Amino acid sequence: MTKRRTRAIAGAALLALAGALALSGCSSEAAADSSDADGRLRVTASFYPLQYIAQRIGGDAVRVASLTRPGAEPHDLELTPRDVAHLQDSDLVVYLSGFQPAVDDGIVAAGPPATFDAAPSADLNLTFTPVEQGQAKRNEAGSTDPHFWLDPTRLSSVAAALEAEMARLRPADAADFATNLAALRAELDALDADYRKGLSQCANPDLVTSHNAFGYLAQRYGLRQVPITGLTPEAEPQPRELADVIDFVEANDVRTIYYETLVSPAVADTVARETGAAAAVLDPIEGLTAQSAGTSYFEVMRANLASLRHGQPCR
């Protein structure tokens, strides 16, 4: 069964479930002071970076859950009936439209009281850039790159918009939300400054990655991403595509091929082996696992910076 057909069946099931929940009287209504039994705002985030900023902004006034379990690949998320019921019972659902189709369908099915779509404030303006005949192609048509959070300045903009929505839902906690947001944005500003300084003098700007997740990071810090595969991490490159990347690596003196924690390093290892380049981890921070180089967004981003400085290499 194809992934598209599976999603269509899942979407129909979600809509049927929504009708059943409504008939059973399980629907909830939005309220300015909506909260759980402990008085906290119930927030459901679709995957880790959104979960992280919601928790940082909300602090003790919120209970934040993620639909994507630790170690799971968020691109492939499918919702269970229990997940859809959880969406319906949430006071706020935080998601990125177009990134996880099952979440988009689940929101339609569940009809939560309030939603926050990160896409508008993230300014998603990059598409997949393939490599052909050893050359990176600019501005080729393709799917929109969703990985905005790897640019701290874009994540900061999303956090500011999310804080405004959370303050609207819980005005009694608005002052605390504003204080927490200011602290988060200050850390993001410092992280951005460290990246700008750390990547300002690199021997090679070409960033060869196992999948197309680092475009916004590359754009922000003067690098050029050259992905082996597209926006889906599990995609297997065709022999011609793999040969093109190998040609590019050899022609441009690329010294490091980067792979990720949530997918197999086999393709990156193949390119590295064929070209004599090294292989190193660059984490897209779509979710944390025991293999992640840290326990928070900031820790992993700083580990990524160290990996880039060594792999490019930078002075």
Q: Residue 256 falls within a domain, yes or no?
A: yes
Query: Phi, psi (5° rounding) for residue 133?
Result: 55, 40
Per the structure block, which two tokens stand in for 174?
Answer: 């608005």
Q: Residue 159 falls within a domain, yes or no?
A: no
Q: Residue 188 falls within a domain, yes or no?
A: no
- pTM, two decimals, is 0.84
Runs of H (alpha helix) within 24-80: 48-58
Q: Residue 183 falls within a domain, yes or no?
A: no
- The answer to whether 204 and 312 are in contact (CB under 8 A) is yes
Per the structure block, which two tokens stand in for 141?
Answer: 């048509």
Q: How many domains does the chain have?
A: 1
Asked which of 48-52, 70-74, 112-116, 128-132 is least confident by mean pLDDT, the reply is: 128-132
Contacts 24+ apart (CB under 8 A), 188-196: 188/152, 188/153, 188/155, 188/156, 188/159, 189/152, 189/156, 191/152, 191/298, 191/301, 191/302, 192/152, 192/153, 192/220, 194/302, 194/305, 195/152, 195/220, 195/221, 195/305, 196/221
8 or 184, greater pLDDT: 184
Q: What distance lies between CA 54 and its chain's CA centroid?
A: 14
pLDDT digits (tens, 9 = 90+) for 194-231: 999 999 999 999 999 988 899 999 999 999 998 887 65
Q: Residue 37 above 80 pLDDT? A: no
Q: Residue 13 falls within a domain, yes or no?
A: no
- pLDDT of 184: 98
SS3 248: helix
Q: Residue 187 above 60 pLDDT? A: yes
Residue 304: CATH number of its domain: 3.40.50.1980
Q: Residue 264 falls within a domain, yes or no?
A: yes
Domain containing residue 213: 195-311
Q: Residue 26 falls within a domain, yes or no?
A: no
Q: Residue 84 falls within a domain, yes or no?
A: no
